[in-house]
Chains A and B, each alone.
Chain A
Amino acid sequence: MTATLESPIRFEDVVVRSGGATILDGITLEIRQGPPTAVLGPNGSGKTTLLRAAMGLIALSRGRVIWGDPGAARAIVFQRPVMLRRSASANVRYALAAARVERRIRKRRVAELFKQTGLEGLEARPARRLSGGEQQRLALARALARDPSVLFLDEPGASLDPYAARAIEDVVSTMSGAGVKVVMATHDLGCARRLAGDVVFLHRGRLVETGPADEFFKCPATEEARKFLAGDLLD
């Protein structure tokens, strides 16, 4: 049974600087339990850094990220996930062991996760020999091995063909329906329209707009968001 996110994740004036550049610039934001949150914005707007900051994978230059429920399990699927040099099932077993799942139930969990992500029959294949879409789904299975309350996805369908991207979307939709809070950085506006309940729109590291996805797509409140949705270049 998936635990839900009881208390919000709060970003308080988060600033991340790297190599003289400001990647995130004073982000204040709350992420709550509910349908998926889409993090949108052009390249270099800070989407990936926002996810990494939430996961605690980078040092903040200022501000803080507060998990209302510090014990909430969290997982992330990177845009280019790194597969361990072993079989697909061994990759998931590794994630289960890292999540301290009891040894006696790991075999059953591996079978469940392979079924959940549509990877049945590929258990014995070397993970690095899988196609891009299969590796992305394997990364998703590995993330789900942690039984997360919050699942961060960094461009889950990027560089995948429409069928592979749709397969990922289906899994994400199912997980969201089961109560997992999904936060996904994406360029794919179609995917965001189909899945997202709310939107966080970033530009040049600043939070420009946030709110329900329907409103954002129908009637964006800012000029930057209007231009972005129209496919125009942003300054």
Chain B
Amino acid sequence: MYLSVPSNASALHLILTWDPALFAIVRLSLAVSLSATLLGALLGVPGGALLAFAQFRGREAVVVALNALMGLPPVVAGLAVFLALSRSGPFGKFGLLFTPQAMVIAQTVLVAPIIAALSRQTIEDLWREYGDELAAMDVGPLRRMLTLIREARFSLVTALLAGFGRASAEVGAILIVGGNIAGFTRTMTTAIALETSEGNLNFALGLGIVLMFIVAAISALAWGARRAHDRYA
């Protein structure tokens, strides 16, 4: 069997004509990854801030473990969520396996540690800088935390974008818990893997171009956040 080499024009044609099948996949991918990033931020930013301030036995071990989780292999995260959501698992009764919600959970497991670890580092560094001033002003613990989160806002945007980048580019976790079901749980990364294996290279390339565009947009946003930080720092 011979595969035809796809022309860029064909892939671009799918994008420029707003191909419904292609953009349904893009929409689902964005919805899943943005939801996971939002949940990851809700868990990771306060969690990282708490860890930055908290003093307890074994704190350093928690910090090392959290940093290690930044490199959690997606397939391992996917497997853990699969076991938790499978019919015999602790959350099997909710029937979430092979749904977009399961994909959001799996990506949140990947994203939250990244956001938490970067937030902890950023806020801990800021605490060294601001600690005496805030203590001298008698600022209470909750207000200190909120103040430092606000002071770290531009760096935290970068952390969120790093989390979103990880979510939107991963394939292993959502393939395991989503099942790559056409029109329901098929995302850009899982579709690229499938379409490539089936020889539908124009479609795969079209999705690849959109994915690259999204990654470039994330990079531009991170750069913009850095510029905004420098303007006020």
Q: Is the CB of B16 closer than 8 A to any CB of chain A? A: no
B133→A98 contact, CB < 8 A: no
Q: Is the CB of B139 closer than 8 A to any CB of chain A? A: yes
The chain B residue sitting closest to A83, CB to CB, is: B133
Q: Is the CB of A234 closer than 8 A to any CB of chain B? A: no
0 or 1 for each of B143-175: is its CB under 8 Å from A? (1 = yes): 100010001000000000000000000000000
Q: Is the CB of B94 closer than 8 A to any CB of chain A? A: no
Q: Is the CB of A171 closer than 8 A to any CB of chain B? A: no
Q: Is the CB of A132 closer than 8 A to any CB of chain B? A: no
> What is the CA–CA distance of A81 and B137 in the complex, to the nearest angstrom?
12
Residues of chain B contacted by A84 (CB below 8 angstroms)? 130, 147, 151
A85→B133 contact, CB < 8 A: no
Tally of A-B Cβ pairs under 8 angstroms: 38
Report B27 CB to chain A, min CB distance, Å: 36
Near B by CB (< 8 A), chain A positions 77-118 give 78, 81-82, 84-86, 94-95, 98-99
A98→B139 contact, CB < 8 A: yes
Residues of chain A contacted by B151 (CB below 8 angstroms)? 84-85
A57→B136 contact, CB < 8 A: yes
> What is the CA–CA distance of A125 and B130 in the complex, to the nearest angstrom?
20
> What is the CA–CA distance of A118 and B151 in the complex, to the nearest angstrom?
26
The chain B residue sitting closest to A87, CB to CB, is: B232
Most chain B C-beta atoms within 10 Å of own C-beta, residue among A52, A82, A94: A82
0 or 1 for each of A36-62: is its CB under 8 Å from B? (1 = yes): 000000000000000010010100000
B136→A75 contact, CB < 8 A: yes
Near A by CB (< 8 A), chain B positions 101-143 give 129-130, 132-133, 135-139, 143
Q: Which of A55, A76, A81, A128 contacts B232 (CB 8 A)?
A: A128
Report A99 CB to chain B, min CB distance, Å: 7
Decide yes or no: A78 and B132 within 8 Å by CB, A95-B137, A99-B138 being known contacts.
yes
Overall SS of chain B's interface? helix
Residues of chain B contacted by A128 (CB below 8 angstroms)? 232-233
A146→B137 contact, CB < 8 A: yes
Report A179 CB to chain B, min CB distance, Å: 21
0 or 1 for each of A64-83: is its CB under 8 Å from B? (1 = yes): 00000000000110100110
Given A82-B129, A146-B137, 14 additional A-B pairs, CB 8 A: A57-B132, A76-B136, A78-B132, A84-B130, A85-B151, A85-B232, A85-B233, A94-B137, A94-B147, A99-B137, A99-B138, A126-B232, A128-B232, A128-B233
Residues of B within 8 A of A (CB): 129-130, 132-133, 135-139, 143, 147, 151, 231-233
29 contacts between A and B (CB under 8 A): A52-B132, A55-B136, A57-B132, A57-B136, A75-B137, A76-B136, A78-B133, A78-B136, A81-B133, A82-B129, A82-B130, A82-B132, A82-B133, A84-B130, A84-B147, A84-B151, A85-B151, A85-B232, A85-B233, A94-B137, A95-B137, A98-B137, A98-B139, A98-B143, A99-B137, A128-B232, A128-B233, A142-B137, A146-B137
The list of the 5 closest CB pairs from A to B, nearest first, reads A98-B137, A85-B232, A82-B133, A76-B136, A98-B139
